[in-house]
Amino acid sequence: MESSDDDSGPSNGNQNSDENDSSSDSDINVGENSGDSFSSDTDSDDEGVGDTQSSLGTYSSETSDPEEEEFWSTNLTSVSIAAFEEETGPNHDLSPTDSVLQYFFLMISDDFFDLLAVETNRCADQVFARKGRRDPDWSPTNKREVQAYFGLHIFMGIHKLPSIDMYWSQNRFVGIPGFKDTMPRCRFQKLTQFLHMIMSNNEDHVPTGTSGHDRLFKIRPLIDLTRKNFQRFNRPGKCQSIDEGMIRYKGNYFAKQYTPCKPIKRGLKVWMRCEPNGYTHDYRIYLGKHDDMKGQTLGERVVKHLCKPLKWKGHHVFFERFFTSIPLLQNLENNGIYACGTIMSNRRGFPADLKNPSFTGRGDAEQRQHENLVATAWKDAKPVHIVSTTSDPLGDGPTYRRVPGGGHVLIQRPPAVAHYQENYYGVDRAMQYRAKCPVGRQSRKYWKYFMNFILEVSIVNAFLLWKTTSGVVIPRKHYSLCDFCVDVAELLIGDYRSKKKERYPLAGTVTAAGVASHHSVKLTDMPRRQCKWCSKQGRRRDVTYGCDKRLVHLCQGACFQAYHQNALLNTS
């Protein structure tokens, strides 16, 4: 059975020991007297995101202890919530007629592909220097080719085939002409082999186990770029939701999580803050016990880190019971952020008389209040417990529920429950969008799963930003995210065509019949064997390709040419 640094997912009632450990050097304060402290050890992550001050002012009252007697009152009154006056929505200079690729480049700058080309070439040079010889099938790449490579990478997520070779198959029912026209299969595989986005030599970075080591250094440029752009080009709306996202992964990586009650049971965890429509404003890759966010419980420090850009702006944040605690909501309110979330009834400070209320029927509710903090117990199919600083306790509204045998029944719903159910699903919707536009294929390198996740979120964000931009004309009636994804991939590839090498050898070999043309073909009637030329050079490479005349197994390209040139010299 696999172990996990965080076996307790959001639906698990008990937090693990990592969550309950406090850090003595932490500058997050969420204890009994949490006051106004709302900083963390990652302030530098949010540089350039924008000013976090507004006209909401500051709260002068100190946080009360929910364990004190007479903390909760049965006297329900209207809460005092500052009006939300921040500007929201798209914040860019693109026109509605600009291509969808330009909107994608708002999330991932086209200059980023320059970095990929430079670092990929550097990685190849380092590998060749370490081996003491160059790969005859490799030539340096450039920005234009890397863009085309990622266009094919996106198409592979949309059009899935069992193996990469099948995209270049000669079978007209399997092979895809667009892939064959863009670049050869061997070139695509070479780019995949050497692809890097930061210095590939691990010795150039702080060694593992020492202070300052970044376990995500291989994709750090992409993380920093996208986190900044997600917040820069779309200003967050009033309502935000925070939850976890999972990346399916079954390989060997220290941060892999096992959550048996989730649809993705084994994978990599990412904390996300999203709009209700699915737009991701911020995210944080979870590294388990190696995570550098400091504080008391895991849920509290995740919420605080992701809410830092929202301080003093009057946003309403929604999350589920894994994150929710009474001190967290008090601390958020003391920093100008209102919150609402389901809560486990055994959490410290939750009213004791609401843990097991006696309800007579569906729709019944009991509430307690302390200033703006409202605790609610509501009977749906099961009892629901919610704490909130976003809603009045008074003013129940109607909602419908299905009943056995068909039909619906009208029941009453408290405002806090209504607000939560209307706004909590932003991360879930982002994950649904991701499932519709997967990027890439499986890999043996863990960081490529993170890279594909970020590309998927970037495409979703670009699509939602494009749709919400005033004046945009939808190309056709049913233009979906998949259509947008296809258009982005096509524009990334554009008219790029890799220069295909000539078939070798088109030079001939001397036989009794004269000079005959030899070609490299797949020897389908013969088993996979060693390349004849590689074997002579003291290296081993098993291939299925070879000479159609001599029926000798040879690598395509340089080995095929060298073998026949040598044979020609020996027979002349």
- Is 18's pLDDT higher than 50? no
Cβ-in-10-Å burial (0-12, 13-18, 19+) of 116 comes to: buried
Q: Quick one: tokens of 13?
A: 């009632």
pLDDT digits 0-9 by tens, 205-242:
776 767 777 888 889 999 999 999 999 999 999 999 99
DSSP letters of 309-320?
Answer: GGTTTT-EEEE-
pLDDT band at 56 (very low <50, low <70, confident <90, very high): low
pLDDT band at 267 (very low <50, low <70, confident <90, very high): very high
For the question of whether the overall pTM of this predicted structure is more than 0.85, the answer is: no
Angle at alpha carbon of residue 378, lines to 373 and 382, rounded to 5°:
135
Quote the pLDDT of residue 163: 92
- Is 51's pLDDT higher than 80? no
Least Cα distance to 157 among 451, 477, 478, 465 occurs for 451
pLDDT digits 0-9 by tens, 296-305:
789 999 999 9
Provide the residue type at 300 as one letter: E
Q: How many CB atoms lie within 10 A of CB 518?
A: 23
Quote the pLDDT of residue 500: 56
What value does the mean pLDDT of the chain take? 83
Quote the pLDDT of residue 295: 61
Distance CA(328)–CA(317), nearest Å, equals 12
Quote the pLDDT of residue 16: 40
Quote the pLDDT of residue 63: 60
| Contact (CB, 8 A) for 355 and 378 | no
Distance CA(457)–CA(279), nearest Å, equals 8
Mean pLDDT of 53-82: 70
List the single range of 121-135, 325-339, 517-531 with lowest mean pLDDT.
517-531
pLDDT digits 0-9 by tens, 522-532:
887 788 889 98
Q: Which long-range contacts (CB under 8 A, 24 or more apart) does 501-506 make?
A: 501/184, 501/557, 504/557, 504/558, 504/560, 504/561, 504/564, 505/560, 505/561, 505/564, 505/565, 505/568
> Of all residues in the chain, what percent carry a pLDDT higher than 90?
57
List the single range of 182-186, 364-368, 548-552 with lowest mean pLDDT.
548-552
pLDDT digits 0-9 by tens, 350-386:
999 999 888 988 999 999 999 999 999 999 989 999 9
Q: How many CB atoms lie within 10 A of CB 141?
A: 22
| Contact (CB, 8 A) for 370 and 350 | no
pLDDT band at 335 (very low <50, low <70, confident <90, very high): very high
Quote the pLDDT of residue 3: 40
- Is 566's pLDDT higher than 90? no
Quote the pLDDT of residue 9: 44
Quote the pLDDT of residue 350: 94
- Phi/psi-derived region of residue 50, left when phi > 0, alpha when psi is between -120 and 50, beta in every other case: left
Angle subtended by helix axes 143-158 and 446-468, to nearest 10: 90
- Is 426's pLDDT higher than 70? yes
| Contact (CB, 8 A) for 566 and 558 | no
- Is 117's pLDDT higher than 80? yes
